[in-house]
Structure formats: C-alpha cells, structure tokens
Structure 1
Amino acid sequence: MWGALLRLGGRRGLSGGVPPPAAPWSQVVSEAEKIVGYPTSFMSLRCLLSDELSNIAMQVRKLVGTKHPLLDTARGFVYDSRNNLQMRGLVVLLISKAAGPSTAELSFQHNMVSGIYSSQRSLAEITELIHTAFLVHRGIVNIGELKSCDGPLKDMQFGNKMAVLSGDFLLANACTSLAQLQNTKVVELISSAIGDLVQGIYYENSKSSEENCLTDDIGISTWKEQVFLSHSALLAKSCQAAMELAKHSAEIQDMAFQYGKHMSMSHKLHSDLQPFVKESSSDIMAFSLNCAPAVLHQEFLGRDAWIKQIREAQGKGNIMDYKKLQEAIKAGKGVTSAIDLCRCHGNRALAALESFPPSEARAALANIVYAVTRFS
C-alpha cells in the first residue's frame, strides 16, 4: 500500500533515484529567508513589542517557578529556533515569490519587494499571528489534573487567564489585519482555517476521561483528518490565499493549497517520528500515545493487543516506561509505515511544486520538504 503511494511524487519524488542531500533545518530556513528578503524570525515583532503585549509579558513573569505551559510557549518565541515557530509565514512568502505576479497583475509589479506583494507579506504575518495565538491557547491547563509540584493553584489559574487573554489579543490583531486586506475570498479562506483549528483542537481535547481509555481508538485515516484540521489547514489555506491576492488562476491556487497541506503533514509526521528515529540522544523521549507511529502500530497490531502493551509498560503509580513501549512500537511496523507516509506526503508536496516555474524560491520550498523527509 505505502509503496504504491510513494510513487505519487513522480520522477523527482523521494522514493527513487539519488535524492539531493538534505541540509539541516536551520540552514534551510536561513537560506530561504535570504531568498524572500525578510527576516521571518521577527515576523510578529510589531505585535510582540506592542504596549499591550509588553504588559502581558510582565504579568507572565509571575508564573516563574511554576510549571505552567504558558512559560514554555513564551520562552519558545525567543529561544526556539529548532522548531522554528515562523515556518508558516516563511512558506507563504516563498510560495508567493515562486508564483510571481499573474498576467492580470503585471501592471502592479511596482508594488512588489523581492518579488512579493505587500499584501502577501501582511498575509504571512497574519498567518503567524493566528498560529501563535493558538499556541498560547494550547497552554491552558486542566486545573483538575494538577499536582502540587506544578505550582500554587492560584498561580496556575492566573496562568490560564493570561493564556486566554493573550491568545485572544493576538487573534484579534490578526483578524483586524485580515480585514485590511480588503479581499473577501481571502477573509473567507483564513476564517475557515481558524474554524478548522478550533475543531482540530476540540478533537485533541475531547478524549475520553475514563481511566481505562489510554489512547484514541482511531485509524490512520482519522488521524490524518484530525491533523489536517489542527496543523495543516492554516498553512494550506494561507498558501491558497497568497495566490488569490496575486490574482492567480484556480489551478495555481489549488497547487499552492496542496503544497501547504502535504508539506505540513510531512512536517507533523517527522515531528512524531523523532522519539523513534533519533540515534544520538541517550534519553528516551516521552511521546504521545496518539502519535502517527503509535496509531499505525495499533492499526497493524489490533486495539486489544495495543492496550495490553501499554498496560505492560505501566509501572507502579501508572508511571509509563516509555523505553519499553518505544521498543515494542519499533519492533512492529508502525515506525517504518510512518516514515513511508511522511515521504508520501513529501512527494505530493513536490508534485504540486511542478506547477511553478523553476526559481530559487521553488528550490527552497523543495528543500523544506527534503529536510523533513530524510531519515537515516
């Protein structure tokens, strides 16, 4: 099954021939930023340095000493170049430059800087603001599940209030900027992406609270539907909206959507695979029991056998032995199937790029795919 899907990428796909060497993620991003002429690591700087958000930052300092996840999110804005929180905006800028102006917009090329319209740059910032807002909202903790070591109850409740208010503030800024683009179709696309994000997060948080239900009983097709909503819809629809702003045809808009969708799916699969493919780390990384390798492992193994393996990996106090569970998953077909699926989505992203003329920007978009679909 997976072998047939891998051939979708065609001659330039990831399954045949000699692929180009995959550069480190940080190098790929750095080179891409030079192509678009825009330091996307500062994409949301105007908002982040506003008086309102500065006041929020002062309040967040009160959480120091607790384990509230809002602190980790805030640190990530400054220190986390490995996960590159600005990846979505960068992709929007790259695909805008790769497509260039449409024949209908050739007379307005004087409005372009480095081959990108100002409205497309605004859209990239909007995409980042929306993504950041939802990252902040994800930092809301379930008060009922807190332990004494997490921090004082009043501080954790305060952290939740800050996560709600600061996330709402970022989202409101994004919506204001979105309206200023004065394009009804773009507003409709991005608004639907926000709806998709809400639905995707709802699925993530609506797991059964029963003690004997440790994982979702889903197949990989359902997993992909949920991941599209929570991780891929925003980028896919932002790429399509960037083409709409330049008045490109419906076909080009669809290819931009397909690239954004499949590239972000491969990115998510790559992230899910890290605890199972990293060789240098001596520490066993904790992983979600609903990550792609685990879902595929369950699909091959059967629900009952999977639950039995989880139970066997639980020690005293229901503390999970992730090393034991990791070895069980690696011994099955879940990891290799997840790698194949990651490459399958990478191939589909590369196939969508064939609709764009050869350029540095298109090559950078391909390199982003290669960076997350190479496994030793």
Structure 2
Amino acid sequence: MEHISPRGTWKHREAPGFHGVLAVGAAGVKRGFVYDSRNNLQMRGLVVLLISKAAGPSTAELSFQHNMVSGIYSSQRSLAEITELIHTAFLVHRGIVNIGELKSCDGPLKDMQFGNKMAVLSGDFLLANACTSLAQLQNTKVVELISSAIGDLVQGIYYENSKTSENCLTDDIGISGWKEQVFLSHSALLAKSCQAAMELAKHSVEIQDMAFQYGKHMSMSHKLHSDLQPFVKESSSDTMAFSLNSAPAVLHQEFLGREAWIEQIREARGKGNKMDYKKLQEAIKAGKGVTSAIDLCRRHGNRALAALEHFPSSEARDALANIIYAMTRFP
C-alpha cells in the first residue's frame, strides 16, 4: 500500500482508459474536486459510482432492477443521483438569509423574504424527490442508512449555527468536537452512501464497512484540505478570509489556550470592528495549528487508502486513491 509520507511525497498514478463516468473521475478529480472551491462540481455521486465500480459485481442473485452497465448496477446509479439531490437540497437550504442580521444597504426586505421562501421550497422539493427515489430502491437497510445521513446533516447544520461563544466569532471546541461536527455536516452523507451502494449489490459486511470508512475519511481529509487553503496557497496575493472555526484555527486554539486565542481575535479586530485576517493568519501560521492540520489531513488520507486495500485492484480503485493523493498534497 502507498502511504502518504510526512513530507507529502509519493508516486502519483494515473488511470487511463476509463469508460464513461470513470473518465470524468480520472480527468477531473485533481482539477475540480480539490482546487475549485467556488463551484459545486457534484463529486459525491461520482465517488459513489467509483466505489461501486471498484467493488465489482456481486456474487448474490439480484432482481431485474439491478441490471449492470459498465460494471455498475442501475440501483447504484440511482443512489448516486439521490446522494447528489440530498447534498444540493441542503446547499439550497443553507442559502437562507437571517433577516434579523440584514442592514438597509443589503437591499429590500421583501426581496430577501421572497428569496428565503424560494430557498425553502426548492430545497424541500429536491429532498422530496430524493426520498421518492430512495423508496423505489426497495431496500429497507438503504432507506435507513440514507435517512440517518439526512438526520446527521440536520444535526450538523444545527451545531454550525448555534454559536454560544463571544460575539459569535469562534466556538470553544477542541479538535475532537470539530471532528464530530464535520462528520455530521460533511462526511456522514458520503460515508453512508458508499456503504449503501455496497448493500444494494449485497456485498459482505466487511466490504460495506470499508466503503463507509473510505467515504468518511476521504471527506474528512477534503474538509481539512479546504480549511487549510487560506494558509497554504502560494499563488494568492491577497489574504483570504477564513472561518475562525476552521481546523487550523481550532488546533491553534488548543495549543494556545482559549483566553490567549480570544485576545488575538480582539487585537486583529482593531478599530471599526473590522477583522484583520492577515494579522490573524500570521498569528496562526506562527503557531502549530497549520502543521497539525496538515498532519491530520494526511492521517485521514492514509486511513482512506487503508480501506481501499480491501477492494480488488482496478482503474476505479486507482481513481479513488488519486483523489486522496490530490487532497493530501501541500506546497
């Protein structure tokens, strides 16, 4: 197995000759999944398809609903679409504006209220379609898995929005609390969708668990990679704004102490209550938060690669491994 070294060096493997969706995975994974954080490239469904392809055909007798095309069962393709529908629905719901925080310069209040109503209705419509398609799979375990993932998403978003700390800028949580929140709001849907794809093909419990582990640790690694971008990007001349609840900031707070961290935030705010992100970024870089977050990203990447070792060697497995390699590479 190829583990990621502490210095981030490894032999990068390409996977040529993919058919259909696998071609998208090989060509687009490194360019889009990791680096283009401004666009929703709908990669969760692709990962579900790739891991379905990597697991191969089932030895169990399946019904006519499970006809296979290009090594992927039709029910697994439906599940990939359902996963994307759920993810998109929650993205739409997250676009709801807090009317109470609006200022007169933000625009007419009626427009904002109308936009909120449309966001709620659109998200609910997508979720309703996802639930209808989920029922059509006629697999109670899969329904249970995806339903619990929806519940996890709701709980994770609730945690994200229930700020109790000073001025709602940063939460008083350690990295273990951060991991729990990120699993609920980012990892649970993909992890359980990967497991559900294995259940649809009646693969063994061990393979189902390994698919879950890959989805979980890959998405955790991706979130860490995303959180680290403001601190490791070399091409950007301007300082990027970042969340004070991102992994480097949380780890920085753990090493520094809560009171000293709050004092650094106060100093960075300065006059006019405007945050000086460059000053705060430099303070975090000077500590251990960034290097610790990089190490954590690679640890999750290695655990995802370890899960992949339980799948037979194939181009699809190589594509899934390349996702991890791309996410754990830093300047």
Q: TM-score, normalised by structure 1?
A: 0.77
Cα distance, 1:76–1:98 mapped onto 2, change above 3 Å: closer
Aligned-pair CA distance for 1:164: 0.5
Cα distance, 1:167–1:90 mapped onto 2, change above 3 Å: same
Compare 107-116 and 171-180 and name the one that shifted more.
107-116
In structure 2, distance between residues paired with 1:176 and 1:296 = 42
Aligned to 2:211: 256
In structure 2, distance between residues paired with 1:79 and 1:364 = 17
Aligned-pair CA distance for 1:111: 1.4
Cα distance, 1:272–1:79 mapped onto 2, change above 3 Å: closer
Aligned-pair CA distance for 1:241: 0.1
Q: Secondary structure at the match of 1:259?
A: helix
Deviations 1:2-48 (A, max 9, x none): xxxxxxxxxxxxxxxxxxx99999xxxxxxxxxxxxxxxxxxxxxxx
User: Is the CA contact (8 Å cut-off) linking 2:156 and 2:181 kept in structure 1?
Assistant: yes
Aligned to 1:35: none
State whether structure 2 residue 271 is matched by structure 1 residue 316.
yes
Q: Secondary structure at the match of 2:60?
A: helix
Aligned-pair CA distance for 1:77: 14
Cα distance, 1:161–1:79 mapped onto 2, change above 3 Å: farther
In structure 1, distance between residues paired with 2:25 and 2:45 = 32
User: Is the CA contact (8 Å cut-off) linking 2:230 and 2:242 kept in structure 1?
Assistant: yes
Deviations 1:245-273 (A, max 9, x none): 00001000000000000000000000000
Aligned to 1:65: 25
User: Is the CA contact (8 Å cut-off) linking 2:213 and 2:304 kept in structure 1?
Assistant: yes
Aligned-pair CA distance for 1:130: 0.0
| Percent identity (aligned) | 93
Cα distance, 1:372–1:178 mapped onto 2, change above 3 Å: same
Cα distance, 1:190–1:271 mapped onto 2, change above 3 Å: same
Aligned-pair CA distance for 1:105: 3.9
Aligned-pair CA distance for 1:315: 2.2
For these two proteins, the number of residue pairs brought into alignment is 311
Aligned-pair CA distance for 1:150: 2.0
Matched ranges for 1:100-115 at <5 A: 100-105=56-61, 111-115=67-71
Aligned to 1:36: none
Aligned-pair CA distance for 1:373: 0.6
Aligned-pair CA distance for 1:109: 11
User: Is the CA contact (8 Å cut-off) linking 1:263 and 1:349 kept in structure 2?
Assistant: yes
User: Is the CA contact (8 Å cut-off) linking 2:221 and 2:300 kept in structure 1?
Assistant: yes
In structure 1, distance between residues paired with 2:35 and 2:111 = 24
In structure 1, distance between residues paired with 2:163 and 2:81 = 33
Deviations 1:198-252 (A, max 9, x none): 000000011127x545310000000000000000000000000000000001000
Deviations 1:83-135 (A, max 9, x none): 44311000000000000112114897981111000000000000000000000
Cα distance, 1:78–1:282 mapped onto 2, change above 3 Å: closer
Cα distance, 1:281–1:93 mapped onto 2, change above 3 Å: same
In structure 2, distance between residues paired with 1:232 and 1:138 = 17
User: Is the CA contact (8 Å cut-off) linking 1:112 and 1:118 kept in structure 2?
Assistant: yes
In structure 2, distance between residues paired with 1:215 and 1:269 = 17
In structure 1, distance between residues paired with 2:34 and 2:229 = 23
Cα distance, 1:250–1:131 mapped onto 2, change above 3 Å: same
User: Gaps spanning 5+ residues in structure 2: where?
Assistant: 1-5, 11-23
User: Is the CA contact (8 Å cut-off) linking 1:22 and 1:371 kept in structure 2?
Assistant: no
Cα distance, 1:239–1:75 mapped onto 2, change above 3 Å: closer
Q: Secondary structure at the match of 2:239?
A: coil
In structure 2, distance between residues paired with 1:276 and 1:342 = 14
Cα distance, 1:252–1:171 mapped onto 2, change above 3 Å: same
State whether structure 2 residue 326 is matched by structure 1 residue 326.
no
In structure 1, distance between residues paired with 2:310 and 2:32 = 35
State whether structure 2 residue 291 is matched by structure 1 residue 306.
no
Aligned-pair CA distance for 1:316: 1.9
Cα distance, 1:345–1:121 mapped onto 2, change above 3 Å: same
User: Is the CA contact (8 Å cut-off) linking 1:102 and 1:247 kept in structure 2?
Assistant: yes
In structure 2, distance between residues paired with 1:359 and 1:188 = 30
Compare 155-164 and 247-256 and name the one that shifted more.
155-164
User: Is the CA contact (8 Å cut-off) linking 1:269 and 1:292 kept in structure 2?
Assistant: yes
Aligned-pair CA distance for 1:152: 1.2
Cα distance, 1:341–1:75 mapped onto 2, change above 3 Å: closer
User: Is the CA contact (8 Å cut-off) linking 1:23 and 1:371 kept in structure 2?
Assistant: no
User: Is the CA contact (8 Å cut-off) linking 1:24 and 1:371 kept in structure 2?
Assistant: no
Q: Secondary structure at the match of 1:23?
A: coil
Cα distance, 1:352–1:317 mapped onto 2, change above 3 Å: same
In structure 2, distance between residues paired with 1:202 and 1:309 = 27
